[in-house]
Structure 1
Amino acid sequence: MLDFSKELLFFFSLLGVFNGLIVAAYFFFFINENKFSNKFLGALLLVLCIRIGKSVLLFFDKNILITIVLIGVMACSLIGPLLFLYIKTNTGKIKKLQWKHTLHLIPAIVLSLYFLSSREDYQNNRILISKLINIINFQWFCYLVISGFLLKNTFDNFRNRVHKNSKNEVWSVSIYVGIFLIWFSYVSFKFTSYIAGAVVFSFIFYILMLILYNLKKERRQKKHPTSDTKQVNEIIQKLKYFLEEEKVFKNNNLKMPELAKLLNITPHQFSEILNLSLNKNFSNYINEYRINEAKHFLLHDTNYTVEHIGELSGFKSTSAFYTAFKKHTGVTPSAFKSQS
């Protein structure tokens, strides 16, 4: 019979496993974006949950079936390879999955089948199981080292702040650090407790879910910038810089996608900002800058013809210049020049 503190520990440990299985299924079956990396992440969460679940059951019941123990141990042998494959696909180092990439999984699968088929040999041989676990923990560590090298540039950038890390880089590092902490909790359990790995997994799982939520939230805000006032203001200031300082409106072939690219947003996002935040459409907004430029020429450069001023201001043709100028000022360019 468990006392209340152990019941609470048992519940909290298995709660992380249960939620982990749900999230594993979500990544494996329901997310099409980054298809291969998410399937590897789903598989990684699955084997982690099996490994952690075995630890919880063994901690509270030393007499569980040897088959359950071996299934947990063999699941552990897949953690390192799946972490490596996940990071390699998520960071874009594998553009197209090939059969050679799955070779990392074959040794663990073959060993799993062998040990399960000869499970009677391990029934009363805890020393043999302990040696097996040590070998697998060492294999796990080797894959942590290899995976760490894959993330070397990302870690360097976190330290030196050369540029802002991408969402994939942040997520890959978060997963890597979480897996490392779980590994460390297991290899150091002699100094803490065997259940420490399960507890650490539960804490890390919920922290990772919080990180994932924030990354998804940032991505939604990037897709819909008008929902973030600060971001909209930054984009508008950047837009004014390109128009007032760089004077990109003088390019008579300037199109919305071209200017949106300079602002690092999509044309749809740009149109949304113009319509909702500035209450203008693209053509009228750009023509305002062109007409103000034309006014400057008309007032100060008397040697230029009206037609040439329209061309210098970014209009494609004289007729387009006259039409836009009269629409915004109520008079033709020639009349404006004579009035001044």
Structure 2
Amino acid sequence: MTLNTLHIASIITIFQSILMAIFFFQNKKSPRTSNILLSLLLLVFATLVCCSLIISLRLGPVHKIYSRLVILFGQAAYLVSPLFFFYIRSLLNVNFSFQKRYTVHFIPFFAAFIYTFFIIQTLGNNNVWTYPGRFLILTGIMAQNILYLIASWKDIRSYGLTLRLFLSYIDNSRLSWMRYFTVGYILLWSAQLQLFIGWDILRHPEWCPYGLSLYFVTAFLFFNGILFIALRKPESFYHVQKYQSSVLKQEDKDLYKDKLIALMNDEKLYLNPAVVLNDFAQRLDIAPCSVSQIINESFQQNFRDFINKYRIEESKQMLVQQNQNLNILGIALDAGFNSKSAFNNAFKKHTGITPKEFKKKSSAFSS
């Protein structure tokens, strides 16, 4: 057994990921669910890098136990994409909690683990690349990654496509961290994909050493990037409760939430372009900071987005009216916006299209 630079880098990566998993698990400055998911992801990544290291060091032919361990624990790859999906969701929503029904996402892992547990009892020393069912299992892993990437993207889109909208919920450091982690995840998956294509599809074993080397380099850079971010921008992983000193009880929040909705629907305060937080505070007879808290926690929006959402719905009704003679500027002013540009930006932010495009689609649909 000979260790080269990549092997040493991989060993460092494994220890780094384990240490970071312990650190994040003990981190009490950010939501518990998010910490646990990230810790589990790092441990799974460490397991997979370790399996690849055993293959690269050719320990399988030395003793049967190494081949069995690689095959068995290699099924941990089925854990990566669902853990990634739920971790991204926990970053988007700091109130996210893992529920029992989510465990169905991990059925493929348990199924693959149980299957390979029985299969490895009959294998020889060097069956890492050729054990029965390998192609089907790896195809499932590749397909699973694609499906969960799509699902994660849909989750991100549900919170908005622009940086401005994301900043309403997540500060800039957390957004940068989410992007880094997503790109790193895709690169690691791509490194696994080229191994799968090279060996299992095209049957070119000469690709494997280069494929493993690329995987080691990618993993090393990815985990050191995480370490760098943790040291330079620790706030990326912290979340301080904004209203931890609030005196509002949950029943109070629910009561004022209903009153707030009634104000918006009945009195339509949003039609006033000069409306501010204090106007709502006076109507509800509570402090402005309490109004802000209710909007942030009950609607997962800031004050401006909350107001603009009602204005957008009002403008939609005007845009679809065929007998409406108002132009876009007139509709913007009537809906509570103070300029056409502000209306266009808010409308596209909430709907993904401009008012003009919405009106054109509505006209085409009605005709």
Q: Shorter-normalised TM-score: what interval?
A: 0.5 to 0.7
- What is aligned with 2:224? 206
- What is aligned with 2:188? 182
Mapping of residues 95-244 of structure 1, within 5 Å: 95-123=96-124, 125=127, 126-127=129-130, 128=132, 129-152=134-157, 156-158=161-163, 164=167, 166=171, 167-189=173-195, 190=198, 192-216=210-234
**SS of 1:156's equivalent?**
coil
**SS of 1:142's equivalent?**
helix
Count of residues in correspondence between the two structures? 224
Distance of 1:77 and 1:155 partners within structure 2: 29
CA-based RMSD:
3.3
User: After superposition, what is the alpha-carbon deviation per residue over 1:142-192, rounded to whole angstroms, capped at 9, x for unaligned?
Assistant: 22222222223678324xx56745233332222221111100011113364
- What is aligned with 2:81? 80
Distance of 2:6 and 2:211 partners within structure 1: 12
25 and 258 in structure 1: CA distance in 2 versus 1, 3 angstrom threshold: same
Contact 1:151 1:173 in 2 (8 A): no
- The structure with more radius of gyration: 1
Letter paired with 1:172: M
120 and 219 in structure 1: CA distance in 2 versus 1, 3 angstrom threshold: closer
Q: TM-score, normalised by structure 1?
A: 0.57
2:70 counterpart of 1:69: yes
2:45 counterpart of 1:48: yes
User: After superposition, what is the alpha-carbon deviation per residue over 1:305-327, rounded to whole angstroms, capped at 9, x for unaligned?
Assistant: xxxxxxxxxxxxxxxxxxxxxxx
- What is aligned with 1:21? 18
Between 1 and 2, higher relative CO (CA 8 Å, sep ≥ 6) is seen in 2
Q: TM-score, normalised by structure 2?
A: 0.53
Report percent identity of matched pairs: 20
Distance of 1:42 and 1:19 partners within structure 2: 12
**SS of 2:191's equivalent?**
helix
Structure 1 residue 130, shift from structure 2 partner: 4.1
